[in-house]
């Protein structure tokens, strides 16, 4: 079946779910069609509150998201969920699990849940996530939840796409507490100790609070620490209230603008690095100038530091001409 990029863009604005799903696949693939869609819909983006839910594997993020969806829907808002796992190729089961767990909401036309495919490099997933969020915003979603596993570099870059980041732990998450202490995990605006039905939840919550004192800084926003049992929907409404309060705080303090500025900055530098990388890869093969540099490097006529400077000059002096998108004849997969 043939679809045009024009009809996809038009139908997204009307909130059509099939077009939205197609658009997200397109931005996942990247390329000129993706750029075309983003350019077309950019004016409709920027309006959703973005919530990042992150934490180690199995702490109950998806279960919490599922419970949060109900809270968000009860307040009449449209909610989109992107489940992203950039690190592991072995998450098929977990992602399927997410879908099964969240199936209560599949009949609700104001809930859109989507797993983001694993991409070959870290920047790819983050970049695709930014654009997938834009598609959801263009389709009128008020809240977008981004679920990511873990606390590594690529997850952090995804966490940075969020306005409010919720860090989920569970009783006995000693390694996570260490990570918070050492500053690796200083990304939580709200902390949740899930599986509050298991022993040790209060202890874990106090340990998190103790790390705030350890860090010592007086912050304008003190992250609340909630204990939940997502499976039984206990404590989840408190988390939603915290998220709303954090949003108000971000707006009132001017931090929302600041965070979004950092975000576009991060996106721009990732995008430029991405383009530079692919330009470099193709010019390594084809550019006579680069071939000449390689030759000089090989013969020790030039040092690699100077060669890199030359390549950068060459890469940034040539404009990266996008191949044209085919808006009329796009064939959906």
Ligand X SMILES: Nc1nc2c(ncn2[C@@H]2O[C@H](COP(=O)(O)OP(=O)(O)OP(=O)(O)O)[C@@H](O)[C@H]2O)c(=O)[nH]1
Residues making up the chain, counted from first to last:
333
Taking the complex as a whole, how short is the minimal distance between the CB of residue 99 and Mg ion, in angstroms?
A: 10
Rule CB under 6 A: which of 209-228 touch ligand X?
none
Residues near Mg ion, by CB under 5 A? 61-62, 98
Rule CB under 6 A: which of 252-291 touch ligand X?
none
Q: Determine the interface stretch with ligand X among 109-117, 120-128, 229-237, 279-287 (rule: CB under 6 A).
A: 229-237
Candidates 46, 57, 152, 183; binder of ligand X (CB under 6 A) is 57
C-beta closer to ligand X: residue 194 or 204: 194
* Sign, CA torsion 284/286/287/293: positive
**Residues in Cβ contact with 29 at an 8 Å cutoff, skipping those fewer than 6 apart:** none
Taking the complex as a whole, how short is the minimal distance between the CB of residue 193 and Mg ion, in angstroms?
A: 17
- Of 219, 218, 296, 240, the closest CA to residue 51 belongs to 240
Candidates 49, 61, 105, 246; binder of ligand X (CB under 6 A) is 61
- Of 250, 241, 224, the closest CA to residue 162 belongs to 250
Taking the complex as a whole, how short is the minimal distance between the CB of residue 85 and Mg ion, in angstroms?
A: 8
- Residue 90 neighbours by CB distance under 10 Å: 9
Taking the complex as a whole, how short is the minimal distance between the CB of residue 166 and Mg ion, in angstroms?
A: 13
Burial of 47 (0-12, 13-18, 19+ CB in 10 A): exposed
Binding mask 176-195 for ligand X (x = CB under 6 A): ------------------xx
Candidates 19, 34, 62, 115; binder of ligand X (CB under 6 A) is 62
Candidates 22, 24, 33, 60; binder of ligand X (CB under 6 A) is 60
Candidates 19, 34, 54, 63; binder of ligand X (CB under 6 A) is 63
Candidates 108, 197, 270, 274; binder of ligand X (CB under 6 A) is 197
Rule CB under 6 A: which of 90-149 touch ligand X?
94, 97, 149
Rule CB under 6 A: which of 18-37 touch ligand X?
none
Distances (CA, A) of 144 to 75, 149, 164, 189: 14, 17, 11, 16
- Residue 293 neighbours by CB distance under 10 Å: 21
SS3 call for 275? helix
- The whole-angstrom separation of Cα 187 and Cα 208 is 13
C-beta closer to ligand X: residue 46 or 92: 92
Helix extents (H) in 139-187: 153-159, 174-181
Q: What is the CA radius of gyration of the chain?
A: 22
- Residue 161 within binding range of ligand X, rule CB under 6 A: no
Taking the complex as a whole, how short is the minimal distance between the CB of residue 146 and ligand X, in angstroms?
A: 12
- Of 274, 88, 14, the closest CA to residue 23 belongs to 14
- The whole-angstrom separation of Cα 45 and Cα 41 is 7
Taking the complex as a whole, how short is the minimal distance between the CB of residue 81 and ligand X, in angstroms?
A: 11
List residues binding ligand X (CB under 6 A). Answer: 57-63, 94, 97, 149, 194-195, 197-198, 229-231
């Amino acid at each position: 079946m043939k679809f045009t990029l024009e009809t996809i863009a038009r139908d997204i604005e009307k909130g059509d779910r099939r077009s939205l799903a197609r658009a997200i696949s397109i931005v996942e693939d990247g390329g000129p069609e993706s750029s075309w869609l983003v350019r077309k819909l950019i004016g409709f983006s920027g309006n959703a509150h973005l919530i990042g839910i992150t934490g180690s594997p199995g702490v109950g993020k998806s279960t919490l998201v599922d419970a949060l969806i109900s809270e968000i829907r009860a307040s009449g808002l449209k909610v989109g969920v992107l489940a992203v796992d950039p690190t592991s190729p072995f998450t098929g089961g977990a992602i399927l699990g997410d879908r099964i767990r969240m199936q209560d909401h599949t009949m609700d036309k104001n809930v859109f849940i989507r797993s983001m495919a694993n991409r070959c490099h870290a920047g790819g997933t983050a970049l695709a996530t930014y654009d997938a969020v834009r598609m959801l915003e263009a389709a009128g979603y008020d809240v977008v939840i981004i679920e990511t596993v873990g606390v590594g570099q690529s997850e952090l870059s995804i966490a940075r796409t969020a306005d409010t980041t919720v860090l989920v732990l569970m009783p006995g998450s000693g390694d996570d507490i260490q990570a918070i202490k050492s500053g690796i995990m200083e990304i939580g605006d709200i902390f949740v100790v899930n599986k509050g039905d298991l022993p040790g939840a209060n202890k874990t919550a106090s340990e998190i609070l103790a790390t705030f004192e350890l860090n010592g800084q007086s912050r304008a926003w003190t992250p609340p620490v909630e204990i939940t049992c997502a499976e039984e929907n206990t404590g989840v409404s408190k988390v939603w209230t915290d998220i709303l309060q954090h949003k108000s705080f971000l707006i009132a303090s001017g931090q929302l603008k600041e965070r979004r500025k950092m975000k576009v900055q991060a996106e721009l530098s990732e995008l430029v690095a991405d383009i530079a990388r692919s330009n470099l890869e193709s010019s390594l093969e084809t550019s006579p100038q680069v071939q000449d540099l390689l030759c000089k490097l090989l013969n020790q006529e030039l040092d690699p530091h100077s060669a890199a400077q030359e390549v950068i000059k060459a890469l940034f002096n040539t404009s990266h001409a996008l191949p044209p998108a085919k808006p009329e004849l796009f064939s959906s997969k």
